[in-house]
């Protein structure tokens, strides 16, 4: 198993996220964008997560070497992003965001399949590889806050370009696990979606990602408005990802004991608690620190448990399309809805109310999953999965 080569891709890919998530909205505001425009730009990037995974899945399912799709997407992502250095105004930034976001979001779902083919399961070893993505995120978050304070917000573009080049180079080093093309999977996908638990999983994941809209879009802005320095903001983001790494390691024992379905449910309920704590206690580090530690559940545990559900409901030849549904419809569509709604309500309703709505979305997701998962035809074995 090419452990370090797989890990290197995750390290650089999520280092991009480490630069984007805490600092991109601050960068956009520095370029004169309003809260509504920032929400729309975040939604543009997130909407590409709906289309891109389906396109890459369609291509990947029709060729035996999925890693070629990953390499092409990583190369085009890097080239397109160079336009951001000269882009000015909302529409130019939106166009480049859409193009860059398409190729960025096309790469990861196919690479996840490549990784799982090397591992043959989603179990303990996946978490140990995926944690290197968290390491990349932490490194850029911590270094990025200090660098932006020293050199200015425009330096963020150079950091992003460097991480994209690293993503492309690392993709060239990863061997593929050749599999048979899966062009026959369409009818079986319709059959898989007749399972109420499969629909419950997709709906819950959609709502969960929507609930993250104010966090990914406006958390840094909220903290900056409350007087936190950019270094402190970066440290809080990094704390959440350190907790995420610890969770990836702990899941080796937690998953066999609790089962992926219960871990998935718990992550939804912890998300509701986390958004309420941030919404009402952001002015105090005493509340923010435990809220960030809950990132271990709301991202780390959620993602691993969600991938286990993808394998449960969309096995074998359906993995490409199942992964596209999860990445595109749930992560992309849910994230876009959450981003636009947050941008629309941020100034009028206020941060506290927006985070309360996010908590409500996560709670509804948990109740929906608990109900529909019980209706699964294979419910007798669901708890062990």
* More confident of the two residues 205 and 258: 205
Structure confidence by residue, pLDDT tens digits, 154-203: 889 999 999 999 999 999 999 876 654 544 444 466 777 778 888 999 99
Q: What is the pLDDT of residues 54-111, one digit of tens each?
A: 788 778 767 767 899 999 999 999 999 999 999 888 999 999 999 999 999 899 888 9
Rg of the chain, C-alpha, whole Å: 20
The chain-wide mean pLDDT, for the chain, equals: 85
What are the C-alpha distances in Å from 202 to residues 3, 36, 54, 123, 197? 30, 28, 15, 21, 9
The CATH superfamily assigned to 3-377 is MFS general substrate transporter like domains (1.20.1250.20)
What does the pLDDT read at residue 143? 84
Q: What is the pLDDT of residue 70?
A: 93
Q: What is the 3 state secondary structure string of the chain?
A: CCHHHHHHHHHHHHHHHHHHHHHHHHHHHHCCCCHHHHHHHHHHHHHHHHHHHHHHHHHHCCCCCHHHHHHHHHHHHHHHHHHHHCCCCHHHHHHHHHHHHHHHHHHHHHHHHHHHHHHCCCCHHHHHHHHHHHHHHHHHHHHHHHHHHHHCCCHHHHHHHHHHHHHHHHHHHCCCCCCCCCCCCHHHHHHHCCCHHHHHHHHHHHHHHHHCHHHHHHHHHHHHHCCCCHHHHHHHHHHHHHHHHHHHHHHHHHHHHHCHHHHHHHHHHHHHHHHHHHHHHCCCHHHHHHHHHCHHHHHHHHHHHHHHHHHHHCCHHHHHHHHHHHHHHHHHHHHHHHHHHHHHHHHHHCHHHHHHHHHHHHHHHHHHHHHHHCCCCCHHHHCCC
Q: Which of 125, 124, 169 is nearest to 11 (CA)?
A: 169
Which pLDDT belongs to residue 40?
A: 82
Render pLDDT for 29-40 as a digit per residue (tens, 0 to 9): 888 888 788 878
> Which residues, at least 6 apart from 112, have a Cβ–Cβ distance to it below 8 Å?
307, 323
pLDDT digits (tens, 9 = 90+) for 338-376: 988 998 899 889 999 999 999 999 999 999 999 988 876
The pTM for the full model equals 0.74
Tally of CB atoms within 10 A around 54:
20
Paired tokens of 213: 């809209």
Sequence spans of domains, the chain: 3-377
């Amino acid at each position: 198993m090419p452990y370090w080569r797989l890990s290197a891709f995750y390290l650089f890919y999520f280092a991009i996220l480490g630069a984007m998530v805490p600092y991109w909205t601050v960068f956009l505001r520095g370029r004169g964008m309003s809260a509504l425009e920032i929400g729309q730009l975040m939604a543009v990037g997130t909407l590409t997560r709906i289309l891109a995974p389906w396109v890459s899945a369609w291509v990947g399912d029709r060729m035996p070497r999925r890693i070629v799709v990953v390499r092409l997407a990583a190369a085009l992502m890097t080239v397109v992003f160079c336009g951001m250095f000269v882009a000015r105004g909302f529409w130019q930034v939106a166009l480049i965001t859409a193009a860059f976001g398409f190729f960025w979001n096309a790469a990861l779902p196919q690479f996840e399949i490549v990784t799982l083919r090397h591992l043959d399961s989603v179990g303990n070893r996946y978490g140990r590889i995926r944690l290197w993505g968290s390491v990349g995120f932490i490194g850029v978050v911590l270094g990025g806050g200090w660098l932006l304070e020293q050199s200015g917000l425009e330096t963020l573009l150079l950091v992003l370009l460097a991480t994209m080049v690293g993503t492309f180079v690392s993709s060239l080093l990863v061997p593929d696990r050749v599999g048979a093309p899966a062009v026959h999977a369409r009818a079986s996908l319709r059959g898989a979606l007749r399972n109420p638990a499969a629909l419950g999983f997709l709906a819950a994941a959609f709502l969960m990602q929507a609930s993250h809209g104010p966090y990914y879009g406006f958390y840094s802005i909220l903290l900056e408005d409350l007087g936190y320095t950019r270094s402190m903001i970066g440290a809080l983001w990094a704390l959440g990802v350190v907790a995420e790494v610890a969770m990836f390691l702990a899941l080796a024992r937690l998953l066999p004991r609790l089962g992926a379905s219960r871990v998935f449910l718990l992550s939804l309920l912890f998300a509701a608690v986390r958004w309420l704590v941030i919404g009402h206690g952001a002015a105090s580090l005493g509340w923010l620190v435990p809220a960030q530690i809950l990132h271990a559940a709301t991202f780390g545990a959620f993602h691993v448990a969600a991938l286990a559900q993808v394998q449960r409901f969309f096995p074998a030849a359906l993995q490409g399309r199942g992964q596209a549904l999860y990445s595109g419809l749930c992560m992309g569509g849910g994230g876009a809805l959450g981003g636009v709604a947050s941008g629309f309500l941020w100034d009028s309703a206020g941060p506290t109310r927006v985070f309360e709505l996010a908590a409500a979305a996560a709670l509804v997701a948990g109740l929906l999953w608990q109900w529909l998962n019980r209706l699964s035809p294979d419910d007798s074995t669901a708890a062990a999965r």
